[in-house]
Structure 1
Amino acid sequence: MRATAVRRTALAASVASLTLLATACGGSSDSDGKGGANGAGSGDKGGAAPKAAVKTLTAAELEKASLVQGDVKGNKIAKAGPDDEVKADGVKVDKKECEPFAHAYLGVKQGEPVARTQRTAVGEPKKTGKGTSLEDLAEMPEGDAEDAFSAAFDVTSTLVSLSSYEGQGAPETLAGVRESAAKCTGGFTIVMDGDTQKIAALTEEKVTGGDEAIGWTVTSESDGRKIPFKLVALRRSGTLATFVSFNLAATSDKGAAGFGLPTAIVAAQSQKLS
Structure 2
Amino acid sequence: MRATAVRRTSLAASAACLALLATACGGSDSGDKDDSAASGAKGDATKPAVKALTSAELEKASLEQGDVAGHKISKTGPEDIAQPGAVTVDNKECEPIGFAFYGVKRGNPVGNAGRKVVEEPKKKSAAPEDFEDAMGAALDMTSSLVTLASYDGDGAEKNLAELRTSAAACATGGFTLSMKDSKQTITKLTEEKVAGGDEAVAWRVQMGKGESAAPFKLVSLRKGGTVATFFSFNLGATGAKSDFDLPTAVIDAQAGKLG
Tell me which interval the TM-score lies in, with the shorter structure as reference length. Answer: 0.7 to 0.9
How far apart are residue 167 of structure 1 and its match?
Answer: 1.3
1:79/1:63 CA distance change after superposition, 3 Å: same
Distance, in Å, in 1 between the alignment partners of 2:85 and 2:77 is: 19
How far apart are residue 118 of structure 1 and its match?
Answer: 0.8
Structure showing greater Rg = 1
Q: Could you say what secondary structure the match of 1:181 adopts?
A: helix
Match of 1:261 in 2: 246
How far apart are residue 119 of structure 1 and its match?
Answer: 0.2
Match of 1:86 in 2: 82
- Matches for 1:33-182 after TM superposition, within 5 Å: 50-51=46-47, 53-130=49-126, 143-182=129-168
Distance, in Å, in 1 between the alignment partners of 2:246 and 2:48 is: 28
Instruction: Give a deviation string over 1:13-36, Cα, whole Å, max 9, x none.
Output: xxxxxxxxxxxxxxxxxxxxxxxx
Q: Could you say what secondary structure the match of 2:93 adopts?
A: helix
Instruction: Give a deviation string over 1:95-132, Cα, whole Å, max 9, x none.
Output: 1011011111211112111110110000011111356x
- Among 212, 227, 233, which residue is 1:225 paired with? 212
CA contact (8 A) 1:3 1:191 kept: no
Distance, in Å, in 2 between the alignment partners of 1:5 and 1:145 is: 26
- Among 227, 234, 255, which residue is 2:221 paired with? 234
Distance, in Å, in 1 between the alignment partners of 2:177 and 2:143 is: 21
Amino acid at match of 1:157: S
Instruction: Give a deviation string over 1:155-178, Cα, whole Å, max 9, x none.
Output: 110000000111111111121111
Match of 1:194 in 2: 181
How far apart are residue 252 of structure 1 and its match?
Answer: 6.3
Instruction: Give a deviation string over 1:31-83, Cα, whole Å, max 9, x none.
Output: xxxxxxxxx9xxxxxxx994553242122211100000011111100001333
TM-score by length of 2: 0.80
How far apart are residue 4 of structure 1 and its match?
Answer: 7.3
Amino acid at match of 2:115: R
TM-score by length of 1: 0.75
Distance, in Å, in 1 between the alignment partners of 2:47 and 2:112 is: 23
Q: Could you say what secondary structure the match of 1:166 adopts?
A: coil
Distance, in Å, in 2 between the alignment partners of 1:260 and 1:67 is: 20
Deviates more, 1:49-58 or 1:239-248: 49-58
- Among 5, 12, 16, which residue is 1:2 paired with? 16
Distance, in Å, in 2 between the alignment partners of 1:199 and 1:240 is: 23
How many positions carry a matched residue from both structures?
A: 227
Amino acid at match of 1:148: A
| Identical-residue share of aligned pairs (%) | 54
- RMSD across aligned C-alpha pairs, in angstroms? 2.6
1:170/1:253 CA distance change after superposition, 3 Å: closer
Match of 2:7 in 1: none
Match of 1:243 in 2: 230
